[in-house]
Amino acid sequence: MIFPMIKFFVVLLADCIIEMELAPAEVVRECLSKTDDSNGIIFEDLLLKNEVLSAKDILRVKSIVTQIESYDVKKMEFAPELFALIPKDKAINYCCLPMRVK
């Protein structure tokens, strides 16, 4: 069973993937039908495991659906004081980094 709000978001992701023609609709729907968060079966994990989409494509779709910009930080340089703004364990857990200090 998928919780209602999570199911809504996952269906939006699936619809966006299909609409953008990133993967065949039947493959996306099959992954969606196998998704079950109560058993730890996550839609994005199925897409990755079955090589339907890359992690980069999934992030792009999530960015579109949530209307939250994503950044590739691999080549960015950060001022050391930024890392003091958020505890390391929280940054790792939530996959976040402060981008600037105001």
Number of H helices, E strands in the chain: 6, 0
Output the pLDDT for position 15: 94
Q: Is the dihedral of CA 93, 69, 36, 43 positive or negative?
A: negative
Output the pLDDT for position 53: 94
Output the pLDDT for position 54: 93
Output the pLDDT for position 80: 79
Output the pLDDT for position 38: 66
Q: Which two tokens stand for residue 10?
A: 């996952």
Tens-digit pLDDT string for the chain (102 aa): 556 777 888 899 999 999 999 999 999 999 998 887 666 678 889 999 999 999 999 999 999 988 888 877 778 787 778 888 888 888 888 777 776 666
C-alpha span between 15 and 87 (Å, rounded)? 36
What's the pTM?
Answer: 0.67
